[in-house]
Amino acid sequence: MSKTVRYQKDLPKKMYSFFVTYQATDSIPSFVKFAEKAGLTVSDLEGFRSHRSFDKAYVACCQIQRDILTDRALTRKFDPSFVKFLLSEDLENAGKSDGDNALSVTVEVLP
């Protein structure tokens, strides 16, 4: 039986802080990592998007993820082709759920 998790007003700030201060150089901040740290599930986080302040923080965290992925691909710390795949999948999924707010990102893989 799953437990019901209540939304907490400070959750958007905690999540944004997690993404901004994440330090590992061999990975990126993720909603899975944040949810685990907060004792939540990703499904809990997705459900909290109905709260305007949480949704704004969620979108900001998505942008942080994309920025880190792009930076690491450009410096070849991460495989640029795989990053391009991840970003295109992310944008494709965003278009399915909220087409009006979908972002366009182009990542060019240079030899």
Q: What is the mean pLDDT of the chain?
A: 84
Confidence of residue 111 (pLDDT cuts 50, 70, 90): low
* Closest by Cα among 100, 102, 82, 107 to 92: 102
Give pTM, 2 decimals.
0.75
Please indicate whether residue 108 or residue 39 has the higher confidence score (pLDDT). 39
SS3 105: coil
SS3 108: coil
Please indicate whether residue 67 or residue 100 has the higher confidence score (pLDDT). 67
Summarised one tens digit per residue, pLDDT across range 77-103 is: 888 888 888 888 776 665 454 444 444
Residue owning tokens 């942008």: 63
Please indicate whether residue 24 or residue 13 has the higher confidence score (pLDDT). 13
The CA distance from 105 to 22, in Å, is: 23
Please indicate whether residue 35 or residue 68 has the higher confidence score (pLDDT). 35
Q: For the chain, what percent of residues have pLDDT higher than 70?
A: 79
